[in-house]
Structure 1
């Protein structure tokens, strides 16, 4: 009888322990399932997040901005060269005006480009670099003439591009930049033509 009571007590304890263990396992499984559900929820939220879409700018406006940046860097570097190598004071003064005005225009264009996620060139194109290299080889009056001839030719092309953008550009900010800069470019062309006439008299 005593042995039977002992076996019965041990059996009851075993069942109790097994039951507790099963309960613990169930709760652990439920906790894991709950955590997995939370992770799945968080993961799906991240996956479905919509990235910010940059404002769209037409191909024509992008090309205008890039070409303008390239032309502006050319005018600035050529202007610096004119200040150093120019023989006539008018040429030196014209070069200083180019550096000042085109630096200001470049800063405005950079601000507009940054607001629209546009990447502008940081260095000159190969053809513009070749033009500057050829100009740098000249000295004295030859330099002055070549520089002013270059400024007349370049500004005629740039003015035409700016006039087209101011009328037909699809982006309001870039179109406004072109329109507001035109009077400065026309003044540059006028001054270059004056210098050209003065050099012919010398």
Structure 2
């Protein structure tokens, strides 16, 4: 019994530095690290809103950069991202503001998204596609996974329905992003 207690205490002390510090409306460690995606676990409503909002903010900011630095295909893609992600941002904000969804929308990008945006901003025009195109594929794979998981098992019916209706658009974005990458 004492060995078991000692082992458990050791495990807790090893894991403690990796545990997230509780913050108001913080994202769960699983969603932040993609573990939930890998395991197919449904995000909490707050995690879904946080991830969806971060995705929209990153897409909108990246699209602005693509309009300046991108090639013709990237500019066309960025135009579509601006239209669609502006709509999803408004939809999400409306659901939260109305009280239909009890969550907080982040006011700014999380550090991981900000790092990606900084890389795009710092890229020279001739190197831009090498950053933007794979980032778009990765970001849309993550978004499709997030929206699929929430639309199947989310705990807020209105948000769950919206995620399901939005999913085909995100799947189309993923196809478009994969085609961008093929042209490189």
TM-score higher than 0.5 here? yes
Q: Name the residue aligned to 1:62.
A: 46
CA distance in 1, matches of 2:118, 2:159: 31
Q: How does 1:1-202 map to 2 (within 5 A)?
A: 60-86=44-70, 88-116=71-99, 117-199=102-184
TM-score, with normalisation over the residues of structure 1? 0.67
CA distance in 2, matches of 1:171, 1:82: 35
Instruction: Extract structure 1 runs of 4+ deviating beyond 6 A.
Output: none
Q: Which has the larger radius of gyration?
A: 1
Unaligned runs of 5+ in 1: 1-58
Q: Secondary structure at the match of 1:124?
A: coil
CA deviation profile, 1:1-51 (whole Å, cap 9, x unmatched): xxxxxxxxxxxxxxxxxxxxxxxxxxxxxxxxxxxxxxxxxxxxxxxxxxx
Q: In angstroms, what is the RMSD of aligned CA positions? A: 1.5
Deviations 1:181-202 (A, max 9, x none): 1011011110111111122xxx
Tell me, what secondary structure is at the counterpart of 2:169? helix
1:64-120 CA-partner distances (Å, limit 9, x unpaired) = 01111111100110011101111x200111111111100001100001111225321
Q: Can you list the C-alpha shifts for 1:135-170, whole angstroms capped at 9, x where unaligned?
A: 111122310121010000011011001000000001
Instruction: Provide TM-score, normalisation by structure 2.
Output: 0.73
Rounded to whole Å, the distance in 2 between the matches of 1:181 and 1:84 is 28
Which structure has the higher relative contact order (CA within 8 Å, separation 6+)? 2
Gaps of 5+ in 2: 1-42
Supply the distance in 1 between the matched residues of 2:66 and 2:86 (Cα, whole angstroms).
Answer: 15
Aligned counterpart, 1:23:
none
